[in-house]
Structure formats: C-alpha cells, structure tokens
Amino acid sequence: MFDSLTGRLGEVFDKLTRRGALSEADVDAALREVRVALLEADVALPVARDFVAKVREQAVGEAVVKSVTPGQMVVKIVHDALVETLGSEATEINLNAVPPVPILMVGLQGSGKTTTTAKIAKRLQDRDKKKVLMASLDTRRPAAMEQLKILGEQAEVATLPIVEGQMPVDIAKRAIQAAKLQGFDAVLLDTAGRMHVDEALMAEVAAVRDAVQPAETLLVADSLTGQDAVNVAQQFNERLSLTGIALTRVDGDGRGGAALSMRAVTGCPIKLLGIGEKLDALEAFHPDRIAGRILGMGDVVGLVEKAAETIDQQDAEKLAKKVQKGQFDLNDLLDQLRQIGKMGGLDGLMAMLPGVGQMKKQMAQANIDPKLLKRQEAIIQSMTAKERTTPKLIHASRKKRIAAGSGTSVQDVNRLLKQFKQMSGMMKKVNKLGKKGLMRQGLPGMPGLPGAPGLPPPR
C-alpha cells in the first residue's frame, strides 16, 4: 500500500540526477515526497509541516547536493531528525516521590488504559521489586472494575476492593489511604475513557489529579491514531499536565505517525510501548524503530527480536545440524512455513522489513500471494511421512493424490517441490560457510523463503 520513502525519493532523484547537480528546487521536490510520506504515516499535518521545515535547513546543505546518492542522504537526514524529535533518551516511570507514589492513567475510550495499567504494575512489581496497588476509577464502562480486578489476579498485583457507588475522587483517596496503611510503594489509578472535548469528564479527572497529585500522569494512546492525535494530546496535556505517553498496539502494522504528533505537541517523553494484549507485552520506547516505521523503512530490530522470540533456539540448532548433514527435508520446510505463519505470515513479516513497497511489487509480479504459506503447509501435510523425508519418491500419481488431499493442483505441488530443491541447494551453499556463519544469519532457512525473490535478509 505504501511505497517506502526510500523508494519515493529514489524515483524523484532518478529523474533529477540525470540532469546533474541538484538545485535547491530539487531538494524541495524531495521534501514534498517526505511530507507526503509523513502524512501517509498519519503524522499530523501541522507537525509534518514543522518537521519538514526543520529538515529543509539541514538538507539544502552541500552534503545532499553533492552527494552521489542524494536520496539516501535525505532519508538519513530525515531519519535522524525523526529520532531526535521522538526523543532519544529512554525515560523510565518516575517513582521519585514519597510512597505510595500515585500514577494516573488517562486517555480516550478504548485506547488501552486498563491493560496498560496492569502491564506497568506487573513490571514495577516483578522487575523493580515494588509493592504495587491498582485501583479502577472507571465507574462508567460496564465491567471495567471487574476487568482490572481480573488483570490484577493474572498479574498477581493487588487491587483495591471494589465499593459500589463511590465517585472517582473518593476511590482515588481511598486507594492512597489504603496504600499508606499497607505500605505500598506505588498506586496505579486506572480511569474511565473520555473524550478530550467532554468538559464534565475532563473536569472529573482533573479533580482526581488535584486530589492525589500524581508523580506521573500518563496518556495512554493508540499508535493507530490518525490526525486527531494532536488534538487529543494537546488537550489532555493542557488540562492535566501530562508527564509521559504510553503508546499501545505497536504490535499492529500501523505506521505510527501519531507518536511523532503527540511527542511534538506535548513535549512529553514516550515512555512505554504496548506490543500485545498479554501483560508482559510492554517495552521501553525505541525512537529508531518508530522512525523506521514512519518512513516505511521497516522495523528491522523488531523483526529480529520477533524471530528470536518465536523461534526456539534448540529447534534452530537442530535444524542447523540437519542442514549441515544435508538432511533438510520437507518436515523441516513445514516447520519453517509454520514459523513464518507464527510471526504474522508473509504480510506481517513484510510490514517489518525494509523496502517493503518494492518487495510487494516484486511479489505481485512473481504472482506470490500471501495465502501461499497456508497452501504450501497443506501440501506438505497431505504427504506421507516417507514422502516428507524422501521427496524423491513423489512421482506423478503421488502428486495427484497430494494435490487432491490439499485442495491444490499438481502444478502447486510441483512448484513447492522445485522450491524445496532450490532451498536445499541454497542450504548446501550456506553450509559451506560453516555452522557459525549459519547461526549468525539468525534464521536458517529464511534466505530460502520459498519463492520470495529478493527477500532482503535482515541486516
């Protein structure tokens, strides 16, 4: 859907370089592409404007104009400026206050406040060895208090007993009181979702803030947010003096421009990223990753980490051994296909890879559709154990049976076998690098991702 900025700029500069030296107008043309890329990534318009102006100052310098690869030069300048704007310093949750330290969680409806409250509590308790109490001030959403209570049980974090009919400010006071008496280090206050233009509800949460004087007031915001991100962040900040932002659903395939918007308009650090629904799916903010995503350059670090997460080290070593001994068979290919599936399928992988735009084009040209994985899995599953270990056995009649069993065609089966053969060939080559070389590449078999031409290996 989105061509990466690199691709876009490549096109612009291709046209330009043929004419020789770049003019200032050429740089402007490139910056227009930067602007569109930012907007496509949901960076809010005023923020994109300011940002491009800032980059322009650096980009009109000699370096770009004289550079042999002006496109890459601009991308680098943009990327670095993004990282700088996003804030390169890692900021932790601030617990520098007299315990129990109150932490107030606020945000729009459904942004992920309750989940993030439990994630932070779990992290403070497990990692930082703090005694944490959680309390829900959400008196409106059906079963909101129940939700936090269950999450508390899952995370083994204490929650304030629910008292029906109490107002948010009173619950907050009761939480602080209970935490004082019971020697808690921190109190996390989850609040109901609210629109920043809902005057009554904004006044309600401001009253809570005044009553408890939180050390942290965190805005929990969806990383998939569009242009509205500036309004939301600005108004929550004006009303509550935010101390930080937690971005959720970073595990999605959004481009994450909201991160830049919110950081730019509030000046608040982005403290944490939510990367899943489970309670341990929380991580520190990495500006370079988000910058890469916004530019459509892919989240390479994320990809490698995800691979490490999904792929069992032992399995990987076992596979490496098999490859070394030349015993890689269709069972192993099946495993590989499943691993890729677990990592979010081809589409999920591609979303994280650099140069996605270009690759998608290549894939389309080569007629590779993302459902291929499933089909290929089905084909191997329709083979007998013997066929999987000794693919040579698979002749015409067997192919027919396999095709019928997997709901595919003989052509599909042929294609898979051919790919397998190519892969085995490649494995042998990789093999020559020795085991170390193979393991360093991280993902054995990935270079041979069936049929994906030019899939760039993770750098």
Closest separation in Å from C-beta 193 to ligand GTP: 2
299 contributes a contact to other proteins by CB under 8 A: no
Residue span 317-346 as binding mask against other proteins, x where in contact by CB under 8 A, dash where not? ------------------------xx-xx-
Binds 275, which of other proteins, ligand GTP, Mg ion, none (CB < 5 to 8 A, cut-off by type)?
ligand GTP
Q: Which does 347 bind (CB under 5 to 8 A by kind): ligand GTP, Mg ion, other proteins, none?
A: other proteins
User: Rounded distance, CA 116 to CA 278, Å?
Assistant: 10
Residue 189 β-bridge partners: 104, 135
Distance CA 123, CA 130 (A): 9
Dist CA 223 CA 357 (whole Å):
21
- Min dist CB 224 to Mg ion, Å, is 17
Q: How far is the CB of 194 from Mg ion (least distance, A)?
A: 11
Shortest CB 190 distance to other proteins, Å: 12
Contact residue for Mg ion among 114, 217, 225, 406 (CB under 5 A): 114
Does 376 sit near Mg ion (CB under 5 A)?
no
Contacts with ligand GTP by CB under 6 A lie at 107, 109-115, 138, 141, 144, 192-193, 195, 220, 248-249, 251, 274-277, 281
Contacts of other proteins in 164-183 (CB under 8 A): none
By CB under 8 A, how many residues form the interface with other proteins?
A: 52
- SS3 assignment for 359-422: HHHHHHHCCCCCCHHHHHHHHHHCCCHHHHHCHHHCCHHHHHHHHHHHCCCHHHHHHHHHHHHH
Euclidean distance between CA atoms 389 and 269, whole angstroms: 54
Q: C-beta of 222: minimal distance to other proteins in Å?
A: 7
* Cα separation, 85 vs 268, whole angstroms: 11
Of 23, 88, 109, 422, which lies in the binding site for other proteins, with binding defined by CB under 8 A? 109
Which residue number has the CB closest to ligand GTP? 193
Q: Which one, 114 or 339, has the nearer CB to Mg ion?
A: 114
Give Rg (Cα) of the chain. 26
Q: Give the three-state DSSP class for 79.
A: helix
Q: Which does 81 bind (CB under 5 to 8 A by kind): ligand GTP, Mg ion, other proteins, none?
A: none
Q: How far apart are CA 282 and CA 152, in angstroms?
A: 16
CB of 294 to ligand GTP, least distance (A): 18
Buried b (16+ CB within 10 A) or exposed e, 7-35: bbbbebbeebeeeeebeeebbebbbebbb
CA–CA dist 164, 69 (Å, integer):
65
Residue 183's binding partner among other proteins, Mg ion, ligand GTP, none (Cβ under 5 to 8 angstroms by kind) is: none
User: What residues form DSSP beta bridges with 104?
Assistant: 189, 217
